[in-house]
Structure 1
Amino acid sequence: MTGNRQSLQLYRHPLSGHAHRAQLALGLLGLPYELMEIDLKKGEQKTPEFLKISPFGQVPVLVDDGTAVFDSNAILVYLATRYDAQERRWLPRDPVTQASVQAWLSVAAGQIAFGPAAARLINVFGVQRDPQEAIARAHALLGVMERHLAGRTFLVGDAPTIADIAGYSYIWAAPEGDVDLAAYPAVRSWLARIEALPGFVPFVQTPVGLRTAA
């Protein structure tokens, strides 16, 4: 989604699940934004200009009226804090719920990153890692999520939060890393509930012909 407001700019690569995480948040919060494409194959993420806003040379980066926020989970917190301040739907105020949301953000940066995201990196980006190890970690995570989501609507409580946004992209794309979701009906139902939310932005499936060539 794009809009007339030009202050929100999202620097991304379309195959990046981290970048999709940020774009999904923008969509679900109903915020207009401009997409700024970064060509990873050409090394645009390592140019001096880009390193000024992303010190680790990674996407995504959100720029809001000159303020640059890097790291996808930090972007989620920023957007929920700045643009959902009254309702606090996406990052509720009470400390118990906030702690639960933060725990799932840590899962996104840990078990998801080293499980389904890592398995996908091997197939989509040709990263040299042990695929069976990554796939095993992914299934261990999915087993925990399946038990956690049994009888629950979302990861934290009955309403979606940025915890769900942080988890969605790489779990949905897990099959691109040869991680089968068939054995996880609660997880698949959770994905479908996120996809039914107003403002949902789909993560485009990587064509087979582009995998290991991105």
Structure 2
Amino acid sequence: MNTQPTNSNKPIILYRNPLSGHCHRVELMLSLLGLSYETVDLDMANGAHKAPDYLIKNAFGQVPAINDNGTLLSDSNAILVYLVQKYGADTNWLPKTPHAVAEVQRWLSVAAGEIVAGPCSARLVTVFGATLDHELAKQKAVSLFGIMEPMLGTRKFLTGDEITIADVSAYTYIAHAPEGGVSLEPYPNIRKWLSRIEAQPHFVGMKKTTVANAA
């Protein structure tokens, strides 16, 4: 549990699977903002995320979800926006100008699209045994990284030279891409970008898994 207080002096409750990148991006944001939070690990193997008491928190039966002193919210990217709007409004986590906001939104869409279809799906196969097309997911990851690599050679972070929630949203599944069989060795700029995020005050990582066929 982080020890910095929220505005209400009550910890935010994060409902999660500790190996979920979607959940980790929320925990990472909570920590980067220095907020007090507690984690509740759901026994998803036994259907805890489909239980009636949890469906009140997230009708889709997915993780993550948060309870911020009675405010219930789900969807990892929506939670990131909420947290920075409520607790980091005087920071650059979510820029104010129309173009900058649009750039962040584009990467939130990439996180929900290409990142899910690529490195996330590849990792779902190796870590969780998902019945997805592993080779296709790895190909999509390589295609995505091929776009990101030259881009990150001209800027420090995804939307410019300051970190935003776009970087938090994209970080986890890319950092853990090797667990899905996708090597990061060919991408020095991506690795430098990951290192810049990991160098942020209060950074907290997600537990790594050992997978036999990971690169």
Q: TM-score, normalised by structure 2?
A: 0.94
Matches within 5 A, 1:186-205: 186-205=189-208
- Where does residue 84 of structure 1 map in the other structure? 88
Is the 1:146–1:187 contact (alpha carbons within 8 Å) kept by the matching residues of 2? yes
User: Which deviations, in whole Å up to 9, do the C-alpha atoms of 1:41-100 show, x marking residues without a partner?
Assistant: 111000000001111111100111111110000000000111111x23100111110000
Check whether the contact 2:14–2:39 (CA below 8 A) recurs between aligned residues: yes
SS in 1 for 2:39: strand
- Tell me the C-alpha RMSD between the 2 structures: 1.4
For residues 2-151 of structure 1, the aligned pairs below 5 Å read 2-3=2-3, 5-85=9-89, 87-151=90-154
Q: Does structure 2 conserve the Cα–Cα contact (< 8 Å) formed by 1:118 and 1:134? A: yes
Verify the 8 A CA contact 1:62 1:70 in the aligned structure 2. yes
Segments of structure 2 that go 5 or more residues without pairing to the other structure are none
Contact 2:57-2:72 at 8 Å conserved across structures: yes
TM-score by length of 1: 0.94
- Partners of 1:81 and 1:88 within 8 A in 2: no
CA contact 1:13–1:19 (8 Å) conserved in 2: yes
Gaps of 5+ in 1: none
Aligned-pair CA distance for 1:7? 4.1
Structure 2 contact 2–31 (Cα < 8 Å) conserved: no
In the aligned structure 2, how far is the partner of 1:39 from the partner of 1:89?
A: 36
| Contact 2:2/2:34 (<8 A) preserved | no
One-letter code aligned to 2:151 = H
**Deviation of 1:2 (Å):** 2.7
1:153-206, CA deviations, whole angstroms, 9 ceiling, x for partnerless residues?
011121100000000000000001000111110000000000000010111101
How many equivalent pairs are there?
209
